[in-house]
Amino acid sequence: MQKNITVLSGDGIGPEIVREAIKVLDAVCARFHHTFRYTYVDIGGCSIDKYGVPITEEGMQQCKSADSVLLGAVGGPKWDNCPPAIRPEKALLAVRKELGLFANLRPTRLFPQLASASPLKESIVGDGIDLLIVRELTGGVYFGERRTGEENGDIVAHDDMNYSTREIRRIGRVAFETARKRRGRLASVDKANVLDTSRLWRRVMHELAQEYPDVIYSDILVDNTAMQLIKNPTQFDVLVTENMFGDILSDEASMLTGSIGMMPSASLSEGTLGMYEPIHGSAPDIAGQNLANPIGTILSAAMMLRYSFSLTEEADLIESAVNRALDLGYRTGDIFQPGCTKVGCSEMGDCITACLARI
């Protein structure tokens, strides 16, 4: 298989963690005789420094014409006072919009080897948490009309929340298909006891459920979901929800794993093009010191193989190699436990690559 990947290393630890993910992708290519061609494009602060904008028009075209996009992270104190129109994060929003990335997939996986790093008791996290939140990314209250003005002698603010059946069906399909590729269970999160958008959401999800009889479907209210994620997170496989609920719940879920450095994500379009990135930021406090945990980025690369290229065996292999490196006791500083071997970012990439070669 030949694929063109646009690489947006970005700022801070971005270049370090992306380098390790490419190391692992190259090992996959060698093993399975694939060819991945990488085109590097500046994004965020480094692009502002060079070109005065967080991403150039040519850079955006490179993203649009690629088979997939791999991102490190953007931003840092140096660019905190840039005018709002050219802030580093503007580039991320622009890429999401231009590529039509409407589905955000965030797996939350607590590897059993790291159970003690979770803020939850080991009796609750059991043999490890393995759930995935599918969040609608381009609709709902974050994109609705907003206005603030005087009404009846008081100041009133409005944020309009709307969803169409087309938007709900589109994200619903991603969720059902994703559940099919995992353990076959899907919970749809809404607030149908109060909100009209949620009642429509539920109706469309129920229609879709008829098309996926092999997926065990359930509805759950968002407030109950917030509780269940803490009380009994191992009950969940795939959760699907609208934009704002997904924003909040995915951050709650990410905390269950102990380190933000372990968490990958994927943002998908209606076609196979997607953008893959760890959920953390550019970590300026540890940048350039070989201290960052590259596992979130390496697992994002595995998601790219799974969701954009349908290379399931290759994706499974990367995940097994990460598991093996943890089994062998290798840890970056953020997940270090006494008795383990502390390694830097590049050494963790080397360990995972070596494990991959031996599986």
Residues that bind ligand NAD (CB under 6 A): 13, 17, 73-76, 92, 260-261, 277, 280-286, 292-293, 296, 334
Contact 140, 200 (CB under 8 A): no
Backbone angles phi, psi at 298, to 5 degrees: -65, -40
Q: Which residues pair with 218 in a beta bridge?
A: 187
- H/E run at residue 149: strand 146-151
- Look at residues 200, 182, 179 and name the one whose alpha carbon lies nearest to residue 191: 200
Contact 320, 353 (CB under 8 A): no
Nearer CB in complex with ligand NAD: 68/282: 282
Provide, rounded to whole angstroms, the least separation between the CB of residue 249 and ligand NAD: 17
Provide, rounded to whole angstroms, the least separation between the CB of residue 10 and ligand NAD: 6
How far is 209 from 214, CA to CA, in rounded Å?
Answer: 9
Q: What is the DSSP letter of 317?
A: H
Nearer CB in complex with ligand NAD: 296/349: 296
Q: Which residues pair with 151 in a beta bridge?
A: 154
How far is 62 from 41, CA to CA, in rounded Å?
Answer: 8
Give me 221's structure tokens: 């209210």
**Which sequence positions are flagged as catalytic?**
142, 191, 223, 247, 251
Provide, rounded to whole angstroms, the least separation between the CB of residue 199 and ligand NAD: 33
Contact 238, 131 (CB under 8 A): yes
Q: How far apart are the first and last CA of the chain?
A: 21
Nearer CB in complex with ligand NAD: 51/336: 336
How far is 97 from 133, CA to CA, in rounded Å?
Answer: 20
Provide, rounded to whole angstroms, the least separation between the CB of residue 261 and ligand NAD: 3
Give me 73's structure tokens: 């992270």
Q: Which residues pair with 219 in a beta bridge?
A: 188
Query: 31 by DSSP, 3-state: which?
Result: helix
* C-alpha distances out from residue 235 to 62, 244, 319, Å: 41, 22, 21
User: Which one-letter amino acid corresponds to residue 56?
Assistant: T
Provide, rounded to whole angstroms, the least separation between the CB of residue 88 and ligand NAD: 7
Nearer CB in complex with ligand NAD: 74/238: 74
How far is 255 from 253, CA to CA, in rounded Å?
Answer: 5
Nearer CB in complex with ligand NAD: 204/275: 275
Contact 320, 328 (CB under 8 A): no
Nearer CB in complex with ligand NAD: 100/284: 284
Nearer CB in complex with ligand NAD: 11/190: 11
Give me 285's structure tokens: 């406090």
Provide, rounded to whole angstroms, the least separation between the CB of residue 296 and ligand NAD: 6
